[in-house]
Amino acid sequence: MFSTAGLTTQEAREILRREGPNVLPQEHARGPVRIVLDAVREPMLQLLLAAGIIYLVLGDLAEALILLGFAVLNVVMVVVQENRTERALAALKDLTAPRATVIRDGHRQPVPAASLVAGDVILVEEGSRVPADALLLDATHLEADESLLTGESVPVVKAVTAELPADARPGGDHTPNLWSGTLVVRGSGIARVTATGSRTEIGRIGASLGEVESAPTPLQVQTRRLVTVFAALGVGASVVLAVVYGLLHGAWLDGILAGITLAMATLPEEFPLVLTVFLVIGAWRMAQSKVLSRRASAIEALGAATVLCTDKTGTLTMNRMRVARLVADGQSLAVDGVADLPEAFHRLVEFAILASRPDPFDPMERAFTDLGQTFLARTEHIHGDWTLAHGYPLAPDMLAMSQVWHDADPDSPSYIVAAKGAPEAIADLCHLSPPAIERIRRDVAGLAAEGLRVLAVAEAGWTGPWPGNQHDFAFRFVGLTGLADPLRPEVPAAVAACRASGIRVVMITGDHSGTARAIARQAGIDARHVLTGDDLAALDDAALRDRLAETSVFARIMPEQKLRLVQGFTAAGEVVAMTGDGVNDAPSLKAAHIGVAMGGRGTDVAREAAALVLLDDNFVSLVTAVRLGRRIDDNLRKAFAYILAVHVPIAGMSLIPVVAGWSLLLGPIHVVFLEMIIDPVSSIVFEAEPEEAGIMERPPRRPDAPLFDLALLARGLSQGLVVLLAALGVFQLGIADSHTEETARAMAFTTLVLGNLGLVLTNRSSSAGVLTVLRRPNAALALVVGVTLPALVLALFAPWLRGLFAFAPLSLAHLAEAAGAALVSVAVNDLTGLVWRKGSRHERKSGCGKPRAS
Ligand SMILES: Nc1ncnc2c1ncn2[C@@H]1O[C@H](COP(=O)(O)OP(=O)(O)OP(=O)(O)O)[C@@H](O)[C@H]1O
Ligand SMILES: [Cu+]
């Protein structure tokens, strides 16, 4: 026999110190120099520098220095922002870091794959990525996909060999070597680590595991388009402005300054910034709710999800199996509360345990062992001294597994075979008569109707060499077991919330249709129609389409069939989330809009294919993610409406005076004040806005609807126009009143700043007015106000700054007029907001949302 004792934690720690962590050299993250260089490439910075230089040429040193100071501040802010983003990304990466199961100090335990060292004993099983180069100590039907190293996609069989190959290379059947980075596609094994990190084969050849793909999401594409349009308009207008001004007044440097001011005022650089901030912080928020997002596109799609396909065991239920009912010898027993197990059921439990792996991990098999411990410990039915001689694993076309045992007598030539599995499969193995099959079918239906998972058990004897197939044993039927797996208590409420919000919950399970139906009913999923895998195989695409419209429970589905279901739903225009945990689930996870893998139960393969990972394997977390996705959607729209709105008065105030032939109202410094103080902080205000009331009581965003539609554009522009009119009005008032440009400018600027703060308030909620929103705390908003108002006061009243801003000292009356105008703009925008909201509520009531089948 081999030794699987493994290292102690102490030994592992020492070797780790000597050898270093088990990671491949990574492509380097962007260093600080790179980040600063990238920041310097920002157009905003270049405009600031250009304006600063012009002031220098004009001999206005103070103005130039202030702008250069803002330029430095801009770089610092970009660097801080980037740094925060990269840190959030790194934290998420830590969560997704690969893990490995290792035997240390004699126990099986999960560790980060990076902490593996040579000498560790690791366990690998179907679906895991081999975490280091290793030599097999034991293998059961182990097959690996080594295409990463060999390019050959056919899996190779792994086996323990008596002697070690002299020069081991990846590829080829029946070798005992496991290679880091390759995939176990079948079976399980125990292996001793031989090399880690860059000493592994993959490290030596410098291949890399595919990075998470990051193609631009629809939202990013839309944003990019928006930015391009605005940038083109802004740059065009700025150039025209500079030229016209130069020609009219002959003052070319002033003209260029006016152009630069307008360009700064219209630069749409906040859109991509806001999108990045929202998606990264959104991913971080999801992680707080136990959902890891591996692709930005998933966060976006969540807000539009219309169908959630979930598996049953472990996601809707707790995956805590307990034997609830036994059927044998024509008798049926409810196990709960019995003091003693009647003799008639002893053999059933005995063979259920023999058909389970020794030291089982599977919750069903543990339930059998536990039952045996409770009732049979002191009987002759527990065979601790028997040795496992051979095994036949579960296969997609044969939902049963058998184990062949050698009893304690070493000279005995005969073996005992135990099988358990789906009742249909076991009945098939037992070659039963039709009446016997009918009787079993009735028993199974009874157990399944109670929501129990039913496994049948059979036995056989054997002498001679192992047959290739379980069918060659002469099995006798022993009985049925019914396993209870309680529903997670919070599931029915989550399913109901989905229903209220126009999202359909669909169960796709490998279990029996009766069990599926019963559990679906408990969960509140529509169980009137159940489609089985066999039914599905018989349907053509058109027929399937009709059935998908009415069916929400799919039973005895093979993983390969999930892909067809995803494609069917997608073809019907649904936005599909699909959970999966096995090797064969990868294609359907990739095909779904939102592939969802399990953090606890799932395989590495599924996790790598998925866009979301539920860290607690819980369906409810998926619903929480949908909710968060909707909130992010909402807040993104608010932020975009705000950004649109805020640029209208700034751009208008830089453009109109020039066109109207007045002297320049705003210079670069005023624009910088508005852009750099209000804009960036505001994105954080909107990101932090709590969800709207009734967020789960409205239909999903239509998948074909752009996030930025005409209504949003119109809303943003009209709000901005109101503030622009207020500021222009105040300017005229100031001129009429005092006949000095400096007074009028100071007044108009005050209105602009306050009006922009008002725009933040107006856009904070799409369902409530300003007065309601004011009562809702938002720390980021306090920060914006806390920074902006003192800065405004300084600009108005500190003599040196006042000079730079070209302001005259304001009287209290002038100040009140400016503030009053801003207040009026807020009130007008709030009132029009009321009309907007009425309109959209009406639209919702009259069912303009997506028509739903159910
Ligand atoms: N360890 C096992 N021993 C015997 N039979 C098993 C075992 N595990 C599963 N089966 C049989 O295979 C069927 C499908 O199991 P599988 O685990 O694939 O279901 P699943 O798709 O994971 O179900 P769910 O959607 O509920 O999670 C089970 O209903 C059972 O009959
Ligand atoms: Cu801007």
189-224 pLDDT, tens per residue? 999 999 988 888 887 776 554 444 445 677 777 778
pLDDT digits (tens, 9 = 90+) for 240-293: 888 888 888 888 888 888 888 888 888 777 787 788 778 888 888 888 888 988
How many Å apart are CA 282 and CA 88, to the nearest integer? 10
The ipTM value here is: 0.95
Closest residue by Cα to atom 29, ligand 1, is 511
Range with the largest mean pLDDT of 181-185, 551-555, 607-611: 551-555
Burial of 536 (0-12, 13-18, 19+ CB in 10 A): buried
Are 141 and 155 in the same domain? yes
How many Å apart are CA 254 and CA 282, to the nearest integer? 44
How many Å apart are CA 112 and CA 98, to the nearest integer? 6
The reply to whether ligand 1 has any atom less than 6 angstroms from the CB of 556 is no
588 Cβ contact partners less than 8 Å away, ≥ 6 residues apart: 559, 562, 563, 565, 566, 578, 580, 595
The reply to whether ligand 1 has any atom less than 6 angstroms from the CB of 311 is yes
Are 564 and 665 in the same domain? no
Give distance in angstroms: CA of 671 to centre of ligand 2.
9
677 Cβ contact partners less than 8 Å away, ≥ 6 residues apart: 787, 788, 791
Domain-ending residue, one of 156, 189, 205: 205
Instruction: Quickly count helices (H) and strands (E) in the chain.
Output: 30, 22
Closest residue by Cα to atom 10, ligand 1, is 421
Give distance in angstroms: CA of 679 to centre of ligand 2.
7
- Return the residue matching tokens 């220098």: 56
pLDDT-derived band at 308 (thresholds 50, 70, 90) equals: very high
**Residue 215 contacts residue 224 (beta carbons within 8 Å):** no
pLDDT-derived band at 468 (thresholds 50, 70, 90) equals: confident
- Closest ligand to Cα 263: 2
The reply to whether ligand 1 has any atom less than 6 angstroms from the CB of 482 is no
pLDDT value at residue 799: 87
The reply to whether ligand 1 has any atom less than 6 angstroms from the CB of 7 is no
Tell me the CATH number at 646. 1.20.1110.10
Give distance in angstroms: CA of 467 to centre of ligand 1.
24
Q: Is residue 644 in a domain?
A: yes
The three state secondary structure string of 163-193 is: CCCCCCCCCCCCECEECCCCEEEEEEEEEEE
Task: Please state, as a whole number, how many other Cβ atoms lie within 10 Å of the Cβ of residue 255.
Answer: 20
Q: What percent of the chain has pLDDT over 90?
A: 34
Q: Tell me the three state secondary structure of residue 357.
A: coil
- Closest ligand to Cα 678: 2
Does position 853 have pLDDT exceeding 80, yes or no?
no
Domain-ending residue, one of 205, 225, 250: 205
Per the structure, the complete domain to which residue 748 belongs is given by 268-288+630-845
The reply to whether ligand 1 has any atom less than 6 angstroms from the CB of 511 is yes
Q: Is residue 241 in a domain?
A: no
pLDDT value at residue 850: 39
Q: Is residue 597 in a domain?
A: yes
Does position 593 have pLDDT exceeding 70, yes or no?
yes
pTM: 0.82
pLDDT-derived band at 151 (thresholds 50, 70, 90) equals: confident
How many Å apart are CA 155 and CA 141, to the nearest integer? 12
How many Å apart are CA 818 and CA 157, to the nearest integer? 80
pLDDT value at residue 847: 38
Q: Is residue 46 in a domain?
A: no
Tell me the CATH number at 20. 2.70.150.10
Give distance in angstroms: CA of 57 to centre of ligand 2.
26
Please state the atom number of ligand 1 nearest to the C-alpha of residue 315. Answer: 27
Query: Which helix (DSSP H) or strand (DSSP E) does residue 135 occupy?
Result: strand 133-145
Are 399 and 504 in the same domain? no
CA angle 399, 404, 407 (to 5 degrees): 150
Please state the atom number of ligand 1 nearest to the C-alpha of residue 311. Answer: 25
**CA 683, chain centre distance (Å):** 22
Of the ranges 92-101, 341-350, 486-495, 497-506, which one carries the lowest mean pLDDT score? 92-101
Q: Tell me the three state secondary structure of residue 189.
A: strand
- Return the residue matching tokens 């959104």: 282
Structural domains in the chain (count): 4
Closest residue by Cα to atom 23, ligand 1, is 510
Are 196 and 326 in the same domain? no
Are 665 and 599 in the same domain? no
CA angle 477, 480, 486 (to 5 degrees): 160
How many Å apart are CA 798 and CA 51, to the nearest integer? 23
Q: Is residue 78 in a domain?
A: no
Closest residue by Cα to atom 7, ligand 1, is 421
Which of 623, 698, 630 shows the shortest CA–CA distance to 307?
A: 623
Please identify which of the residues 254, 311, 485, 617 carries the catalytic annotation.
Answer: 311
Are 276 and 311 in the same domain? no
Does position 843 have pLDDT exceeding 60, yes or no?
no
Per-residue pLDDT, averaged over 758-767, amounts to 82
Which of 282, 257, 314, 198 shows the shortest CA–CA distance to 606?
A: 314
- The torsion angles phi and psi of 309, rounded to 5 degrees, stand at -95, 125
pLDDT digits (tens, 9 = 90+) for 495-516: 999 999 999 999 999 999 999 9
Please state the atom number of ligand 1 nearest to the C-alpha of residue 355. Answer: 3
How many Å apart are CA 264 and CA 671, to the nearest integer? 7
311 is catalytic: yes
How many Å apart are CA 234 and CA 271, to the nearest integer? 14
Closest residue by Cα to atom 27, ligand 1, is 313
How many Å apart are CA 723 and CA 640, to the nearest integer? 17
Q: Tell me the three state secondary structure of residue 812.
A: helix
Closest residue by Cα to atom 30, ligand 1, is 422
Exposure b/e, 383-401, CB count within 10 A at least 16 = b: eeebeeebbbbeeeebbbb
**CA 696, chain centre distance (Å):** 19
pLDDT-derived band at 324 (thresholds 50, 70, 90) equals: very high
Q: Is residue 370 in a domain?
A: yes
Domain-ending residue, one of 435, 464, 484: 484
**Residue 787 contacts residue 677 (beta carbons within 8 Å):** yes
Are 342 and 447 in the same domain? yes
How many Å apart are CA 770 and CA 823, to the nearest integer? 12
Closest residue by Cα to atom 31, ligand 1, is 422
pLDDT-derived band at 85 (thresholds 50, 70, 90) equals: low
Please state the atom number of ligand 1 nearest to the C-alpha of residue 422. Answer: 31
Q: Tell me the three state secondary structure of residue 804.
A: helix
Give distance in angstroms: CA of 849 to centre of ligand 2.
34
Of the CA atoms within 13 Å of residue 106, those in its CB half-sphere come to 0
pLDDT digits (tens, 9 = 90+) for 638-684: 888 888 898 899 889 888 888 787 777 888 888 888 877 666 666 77
Q: Provide the phi-psi class of 166: left if phi over 0, else alpha when psi is between -120 and 50, else beta.
A: alpha
Please state the atom number of ligand 1 nearest to the C-alpha of residue 507. Answer: 25
Helices (H), 20-165: 32-40, 43-58, 61-96, 147-150
Per-residue pLDDT, averaged over 323-347, amounts to 91
- Return the residue matching tokens 């193609």: 215
Does position 534 have pLDDT exceeding 90, yes or no?
yes
Are 392 and 437 in the same domain? yes
**Residue 235 contacts residue 227 (beta carbons within 8 Å):** no
Are 837 and 691 in the same domain? yes
Are 636 and 613 in the same domain? no
Are 605 and 635 in the same domain? no
Give distance in angstroms: CA of 277 to centre of ligand 2.
16
The span from the first CA to the last CA of the chain, in angstroms, equals 60
Q: Is residue 393 in a domain?
A: yes
The reply to whether ligand 1 has any atom less than 6 angstroms from the CB of 514 is no
Does position 533 have pLDDT exceeding 90, yes or no?
yes
Does position 136 have pLDDT exceeding 60, yes or no?
yes
Does position 725 have pLDDT exceeding 70, yes or no?
yes
Closest residue by Cα to atom 14, ligand 1, is 510
Tell me the CATH number at 600. 3.40.50.1000
The reply to whether ligand 1 has any atom less than 6 angstroms from the CB of 312 is yes
Does position 395 have pLDDT exceeding 90, yes or no?
no
Q: Between 829 and 80, where is the model more confident? A: 829
pLDDT digits (tens, 9 = 90+) for 118-133: 999 999 988 888 989 9
Pairing of β 414-421 and β 400-406: antiparallel
Q: Is residue 91 in a domain?
A: no
Are 516 and 605 in the same domain? yes
Give the chain's length: 854
Per-residue pLDDT, averaged over 476-503, amounts to 94
Does position 854 have pLDDT exceeding 80, yes or no?
no
pLDDT value at residue 43: 73
Give distance in angstroms: CA of 159 to centre of ligand 2.
64
